[in-house]
Structure 1
C-alpha cells in the first residue's frame, strides 16, 4: 500500500488542510489539532460530535500561515469564517468573533484546560445502534446520559488514548484505506462517501478488499519512516453525516457503516460502527504522499 493523501486539522472540528508531507511524532502529524475551541459555560472542548451545539464549527476552515517546522513554535493559524472573512489565531478579537458566530462564549486555546473533556452524541438508525456504550462499559473518566430529546450523550476525557496535553478525541493518528471507502460505495451507491467526512490523517490506496483495517488492531508497521502500532478500529459518529464544505447533510453515510461494519472494541467497551483504524506512533519519522506502508504484522 502507498499513501495517497495526508491531512491535518489545525483547529479541532474545523475543516483542515491537505499536505504533501509531514513530520510525525508521538503527538501525531506536526500541527494536527494544535488548537481547539473551548466552551466557557460547559467547561468542555467543543466538538461537532454534538451537532446541536457545534455543527457550525464545520462551517469554518483552518490552515497554518506558514509551514510548521520541527523544534520551532507553531506558526499562527488562519481561520476562515463561514462568511468568507478571515482572522488569525493571534488576532485580539478572534474569541469574540468565534463566540458571535457560534452563539456561545468560547475561547481559542492551545492546551486543554486541566480535566478537559469532550462530548459525543450517539444516534440510532432503524434499530441499528451506532454504539452500544452502556454505563458499565465506560472507559475510565467517561460518563453517559440521555438528553430530554432522547439523544444519548457520552462525555470522554480529551485524548483518552493519545499524548497528554493534546486535543485528539481518543488516539493520535487516524488511518483510512480506499478499500474501506470503495466497499461503502458498493454497499450504498446513492451515498457520497467522501474522505473529508472521516477526517483521517493518512489515506492509503485501495490494495485489498473490504474493511481491511478491521484486522490491523494489535499489529505494528511503518508508514514512510514512521513506526506505528495499530490500536483499535475507528468508531464513526454523527459528525460524518453533517454538512461540511460542499458536502450536504447525509444520514446514509453513518447508517451504512452501522449496518455493515459493527465491531466489538475491548479497549472502549461495546460494539461500534467502524471505518478506519487508530494508531500510536512508536518511532518518530516523516510521512509523504507516495510513501510506502508496510504490511501490518503482529507485535
Structure 2
C-alpha cells in the first residue's frame, strides 16, 4: 500500500515555454502532462531550435514575459513593457524584443532540440559570456505535443525549496508543476525515482531526478539574479542522472500512469 507522504501545496503551469506562468488551485493531468502546460514555444527561424532560457545569453529575456490562459483556453502573452496580445499574434513583437526572428509553435515536432548552457560556465562567466551550448532533444520521456524538457510532469518538495533558501516564493525559479509539502526532509524526491505517486485522481511514475541548468539563477520577472539557486545544489545535492552524469538536482520528472484532476490540499501517496 502507498504511504501518505504529504499534501499538494501549489500547482503551476507555463503556457509558453520559458515565460512566467500561472498558479492554479486545480489542474487536470492528462497523458501529455498538465493541461495547458508548455502548450506553446518559440522557434528560432535561423536554427530551427526551441527558444529557452537554458541558453541565457540568447533567450533569458523570455523570463521577463508572462503567459496566461483565459477561460476560453486562449493564451495571452504580456511583454516587459506590459503590452499584451494573443500568443498567435506575438511572433513579431517577440522577435523585436529578442533581436532574433522567431515564430510560435503549438506542437512539438519529433526530434526538435534546444540549446542548454553549462550552469557552471554561467556562474563563472555570467550570462553574456560566449561558449558553445549543448544540444538536447526535448521530451525524450514524454508523448508528442507539449514542449516539456523530459517527462510530462515536474514535481518538487517545499522542503527542498526551503533547504536551497528560496522557499515557496522562489518556486517559480525551478518551474515545477506540483509543489509537495512533505515536512522538513529536503531532497526526499531523490528516493522516489521508479516509484508511483498518487495525488488527487492522478497517478504518476517518477522517471529521474531533475538536473538543473542556469535558469534558476536568472531574473524571473521582477526578481534579481540568484547564483545560490544552483550553487547550493552543486554543494549539497549532486545526483547521477542518465545522460547528464552527476548533476546538481532539485525535484523530479514523472510520467503519467493514470490521468485525473489534482487540487491544492490533496494527499500525496508514494509507493
What secondary structure is seen at the aligned counterpart in 2 of 1:2? strand
| CA-to-aligned-CA distance 1:87-132 (integer Å, 9 cap, x gap) | 11233xx21111111110000110124431111001327999xxxx
**Match of 1:76?**
74
| 1:31-55: CA deviation from partner (whole Å, max 9, x where unpaired) | 0001001100011010000001000
Pair 1:276-2:236 in alignment: no
Summarize the alignment of residues 49-64 of structure 1 with structure 2, pairs less than 5 Å apart: 49-64=54-69
Higher helix share: 2
Q: Which has the larger radius of gyration?
A: 1
Matched, 1:112 2:108: yes
Instruction: Confirm or deny that 1:44 pairs with 2:49.
Output: yes
The separation in 1 between residues aligned to 2:181 and 2:132, in whole angstroms, is 35
- Contact conserved, 1:193 with 1:253, CA < 8 A, in 2? no
The change in CA–CA distance for 1:99 and 1:232 in structure 2 (over 3 A counts) is same
Secondary structure of 2:80 counterpart: coil
How far, CA to CA, are the matches of 1:100 and 1:159 in structure 2? 28
Contact conserved, 1:158 with 1:166, CA < 8 A, in 2? no
Instruction: Give the equivalent residue in structure 1 for 2:16.
Output: 11
Could you tell me how far 1:210 is from its partner in structure 2? 2.0
| TM-score between the two structures when normalised by the length of structure 1 | 0.83
Shift of 1:268: 2.3
What do residues 239-270 of structure 1 show as CA deviations (whole Å, max 9, x unaligned)? 110011221012121111111100111x3241
- Out of 206, 230, 240, the position equivalent to 1:254 is 230
Aligned to 1:178: 158
- Give the conservation status (yes or no) of the 8 Å contact 2:161–2:168: no
Render the CA deviation track for 1:1-56: whole Å, top value 9, x for unaligned.
11111000000000000011011111111100010011000110100000010001
Look up the match of 2:203. Answer: 227
> Secondary structure of the residue that 2:117 maps to in structure 1?
strand
| Matching of residue 210 in structure 1 with residue 210 in structure 2 | no
- Structure 2 CA distance, aligned partners of 1:179 and 1:152? 34
Q: Is the 8 A contact 2:158 2:168 kept in 1?
A: no
CA separation of 1:10 and 1:126: change in aligned 2, threshold 3 A: closer
Q: Tell me which stretches of 4 or more aligned residues in structure 1 moved more than 3 Å.
A: 125-128, 149-152
Unmatched 5+ stretches in structure 1: 68-74, 129-148
Q: Given that residues 5 and 18 in structure 1 are in contact (C-alpha distance below 8 angstroms), is that contact kept between their aligned partners in structure 2?
A: yes
| Stretch of structure 1 that moved more, 160-169 or 22-31 | 160-169
Q: What is the CA–CA distance in structure 2 between the aligned matches of 1:104 and 1:90, rounded to whole Å?
A: 17
Structure 1 segment 77-226 matched on structure 2, within 5 A:
77-91=75-89, 94-124=90-120, 151=131, 153-185=133-165, 194-226=170-202
3-state secondary structure, aligned to 2:172:
helix
Whole-angstrom distance in 2 between the partners of 1:256 and 1:18: 26
- Paired with 2:231 and 2:222, the residues of 1 have a C-alpha distance of 20
Contact 1:39/1:107, CA 8 A, preserved across alignment = yes
User: CA–CA distance in 1 between the matches of 2:121 and 2:45?
Assistant: 32
8 Å CA contact 2:53, 2:59 repeated in 1: yes
- The answer (yes or no) to whether the contact 2:41–2:51 under 8 Å persists in 1 is yes
Q: How many residues align?
A: 262
Retained in 2: the 8 A contact 1:184–1:193? Answer: no
The TM-score normalised by the length of structure 2 is 0.91
Tell me, in whole angstroms, the C-alpha distance in 2 between the residues paired with 1:208 and 1:28. Answer: 28
CA contact (8 A) 2:157 2:181 kept: yes
